[in-house]
Amino acid sequence: MRERILLVEDDEALGRQVARQLEEAGYAIRWLRDGAAALREDPHDYELAILDLMLPGAYGLDVLKRLRAQGELPVLILSARHDTHDKVRALELGADDFVTKPFWPDELLARVRTRLRRPALQREGVLEAGPLRMDVAGRSVQVAGRRVDLTRVELDLLAALARRPGAAVERGWLVDNVLDPEREGTERTLDVHVSRLRKKLGPHAALVETVWGVGYRLNPDVPA
């Protein structure tokens, strides 16, 4: 089912463009041009609201207050003002994030996806990302349905990446949080573990990506 987004934007050109981009990206959009109309919407009909702060009819913050009062609908604020007061106020009123104009279509899309991303942890102790399925509590890992035996460090490493699929994790953080604190851990030690992990993943070695200047990332979009 397509996720539904409520877009409240008074600028005709921008509203049309954003609505089209989001529809092309696979979302169902309801675009309202003024705040008064937005005040009549039921927030439970949507998974996300995108709200321009400068609205005719009702101040954007009033719409935000109303949406917040009626439920847990995530709200993304579009702000054209380089005024921190508005942003701070919006965040205080419960907005989840803001995007400052002028933004790129991909930028807005990335922010929408971040807001709508399903948590990686689906059930108690189970991580799923692409072909990867980890039972963290049971310490077992399956890739495309095939069981893979991992050492403790390899499993912790994979779990650290799988908790945030698609997000790069910094090398230094992994050294501090994954390697055995009893032994001398260096970034080179980490690289050795990653290398062994990849070998064990076999045809799915590309699940663990090296990220230039940062560290490693679990890419959930590798072909199964």
Partner 1 sequence: MRLRTRLALSVVAAALPLAGASVWARRDLEQRRVAQVLREFAVTRMESGGRERCEADPEHFPPRPGPGGGPRGMDVPPPPPPPPELGGDVERPRRPPAPGPDDGTRFWAYGADLVSRNRDAPPVAEPLAAEIRGGADVALQRVADGEGSAWEALVRMPWSEGPGAFVLVRRRAPDADGEALAGLLTGVVVAGGVLVAVLFASGSVVRRIRRLESDVRRTAAVRYEQPVEVRGGDEVADLARAFNDAAAAVRAHLADVVRREETLRAFVANTTHDVMTPLTVLQGHLDALRHAVPPGDTDAAEALRDALREVDYTTSLVANLAAAAKLEAGPDAVLRRPVDLAALVERVAARHRPVARAQGVELNHAVPEERVVAEGDVTLLEQALGNVVQNAIRYNRAGGHVALVLRAPASGRFEIRVADDGVGVAAADLPRLTERGFRGTSARTRPSTGTGLGLDITRGVCDLHHIELSFEPGDPTGLVVTLRGERSTSA
Contact positions toward partner 1, by CB under 8 A?
A: 11, 13-14, 17-18, 21, 54, 80-85, 87-88, 97-107, 110-111, 114, 163-164, 167-170, 172-173, 211-215, 217
CB of 31 to partner 1, least distance (A): 15
Residue (31 or 98) nearer to partner 1, CB: 98
CB of 186 to partner 1, least distance (A): 17
Q: Left if phi > 0, otherwise alpha if psi is -120 to 50, otherwise beta: which for 77?
A: beta
Q: Are 47 and 3 in contact (CB under 8 A)?
A: yes
Residue (9 or 41) nearer to partner 1, CB: 9
CB of 203 to partner 1, least distance (A): 25
C-alpha dihedral sign at 118, 105, 219, 179: negative
Q: For residues 130 and 143, what is the distance between their CA atoms, to the nearest angstrom? A: 9
Residue (160 or 205) nearer to partner 1, CB: 160
Q: Are 52 and 95 in contact (CB under 8 A)?
A: no
Name the one residue in this structure whose structure tokens are 């987004």. Answer: 5
Residue (52 or 143) nearer to partner 1, CB: 52
